[in-house]
């Protein structure tokens, strides 16, 4: 199992006030992000990603709406 799968995961957050519904997040991480009926992203599933994928998702979000926090034990 890679290090990404063993624990260095973070919890994803979407700021729906700044999301512009471009759908980049859903395209790359469909298990974690989904556009809802308002065409705004929402976090689904367990809401976590490996840290490097989380950083990539935040970087590519055109609305700067994606952030992440440490998972509380
Ligand atoms: S990539 Fe960003 S702006 Fe686009 S739908 Fe996802 S959260 Fe919203």
**Which residue owns the Cα nearest ligand 1 atom 6?**
25
Ligand 1 atom showing the smallest separation from residue 35 Cα: 5
Q: Counting atoms of ligand 1 from 1, which one is nearest the CA of 62?
A: 3
Greatest C-alpha distance within the chain:
38
Residue-wise pLDDT for 2-16, tens only, equals 444 546 999 999 999
Cα–Cα–Cα angle for 46, 34, 8, rounded to 5 degrees: 35
| Residue 67 Cβ contacting ligand 1 at under 6 Å | no
Q: What is residue 39's DSSP assignment?
A: S
Q: Tell me: the pLDDT tens digits for 29-48?
A: 999 999 999 999 999 999 99
Percent of the chain clearing pLDDT 70 (strictly above): 90
Percent of the chain with pLDDT over 90: 88
Q: Which residues are bridge partners to 35 per DSSP?
A: 41
Q: Delineate the domains of the chain, giving CATH numbers in brackets.
A: 3-70 (3.30.70.20)
Whether the model clears a pTM of 0.85, i.e. scores above it, the answer is yes
Which residues are CB-neighbours of 10 under 8 A, at least 6 positions away?
48, 49, 50, 51, 54, 68, 69, 70, 71
């Amino acid at each position: 199992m890679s290090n990404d799968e063993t624990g260095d995961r973070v919890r994803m957050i979407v700021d729906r006030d700044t999301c512009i519904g471009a759908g980049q997040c859903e395209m790359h991480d469909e298990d974690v992000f989904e556009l809802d009926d308002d065409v705004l992203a929402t976090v689904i599933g367990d809401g976590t990603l490996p840290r490097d994928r989380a950083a990539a998702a935040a970087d590519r979000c055109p609305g700067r709406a994606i952030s992440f926090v440490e998972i509380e034990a």
